[in-house]
Structure 1
Amino acid sequence: MIIIMAGGRSSRIGREKPVLKVGGVPMLLRVYREAEKVGETLVALSKNTPKTRELCLRERIPFVETPGNGYVEDVKWLLHEFGPFISVSADLPFIKASDIARISEAFDRKTSLTGVLPLKLVPKDLKPVVYRGYAIVGLNAVGIEGERFFELNNPLLALNVNTPGELKLADKIARLVGR
């Protein structure tokens, strides 16, 4: 199962991120359309995201409401409710079905996989979260024991929209690449 994480408070951007448009399309729809090409997909939302709930209802996208007490707590809750799953952040507007398929195929349902990009692939203008020499991206496999990095190769996964500046950049890129 693929679960799109869309229940956060969006405190850095000040508005519900999943419904913000990139290239004229809400980010959640961009991510959902790619994820559903790979397999059964569900959106995890919370009391923090009423507009996202409305979008899911309008578009007939399946969803589940998490307790909304924070990302880690929601992931633990989802793992308990659904078992091991692929986790995709709703704020990755340039994720491709092939990215999700690659991590899904490598997932043994036991060991968690943290999606990472080698820093040499990260576009210079982006400032991703860096850990142990890799950019951490919002595509993961949530297992029940242990964890390892999983290298991806889509440079645009480094653009996870958290600020108004990143939203503006994502919109510009979407218009340039026609996505």
Structure 2
Amino acid sequence: MAGGKGSRMSLTGEKLLLKYKKPVILHVLDALRDSNCFSKILAITSSNSPQTKKFLEENSIELFNTPGDGYVNDLNLVLKSLNDFVLIASADLPFLDGDIIKKIITQCNLENVWTTIIITKKFLDSLHLSSDYWFEFENQQCCYSGISLVNAEKILTMENISEKFIIIDDKRIAFNLNTKQDYDLLGTA
């Protein structure tokens, strides 16, 4: 998912092109490739991030352009066009690597239509990270990592989907660039 506005960052440029050794989006693309788990990598873009789209085109990444109507609407549009298992990953996870992707895939039950990887508040607090979106799961405060494994063939709409959750408290998926403070903290890593 690479088509967001990145509005919480309050930047003049685009969030996914921020550098941590290389543009953040390349960390995610390299992790997906390095996992050797996928036959295709598809970047979901929109008019909200034209420089990111151009960067991806210049790097020969296959694109799926969406209207940029919001995460859920854009994702629904993409999933309707696919008939396979899909790993959805936010493109702002600079520590993502192939090993954690393999771990996620092996922990997911392929019988589930939608499995979302979540992180506990306790773990995020230990990293000095925060989230704006918390929910209760197994008597713990948790938040979304930006990673899900979905059987797109079984999805007609984004409504009434039975979502399963797996907690994986791992820095490689917990560190998600949402704010300027997150980026500043990344610089100290």
Q: Which moved more, 1:129-138 or 1:44-53?
A: 129-138
Deviation at 1:109, TM superposition (A): 6.3
Counterpart check, 1:140 vs 2:143: no
Counterpart check, 1:127 vs 2:130: yes
- 1:17-166 correspondence runs (5 A): 17-22=15-20, 24-38=21-35, 39=38, 40-83=40-83, 84-105=85-106, 106-108=108-110, 110-122=112-124, 123-128=126-131, 129-132=133-136, 133-143=141-151, 144=155, 145-166=161-182
Which 4+ residue blocks in structure 1 deviate beyond 3 angstroms?
none
RMSD of aligned alpha carbons = 1.8
2-structure distance, mates of 1:70, 1:32: 22
2-structure distance, mates of 1:78, 1:101: 23
2-structure distance, mates of 1:60, 1:171: 28
Structure 1 gap ranges (5+): 174-179
Number of equivalenced pairs: 168
1:177 aligns with none
2-structure distance, mates of 1:25, 1:124: 22
SS in 2 for 1:126: coil
TM-score by length of 2: 0.80
Q: In the TM superposition, what whole-angstrom CA distance separates every residue of 1:55-105 from its partner, at most 9, and x where no partner exists?
A: 112211222111211000011001101134111001111112122223333
Q: In the TM superposition, what whole-angstrom CA distance separates every residue of 1:109-159 from its partner, at most 9, and x where no partner exists?
A: 642111112334332411134321223211112343411111223134222
Please say which structure displays the higher CA radius of gyration: 2
Q: Is the 8 A contact 2:30 2:97 kept in 1?
A: no
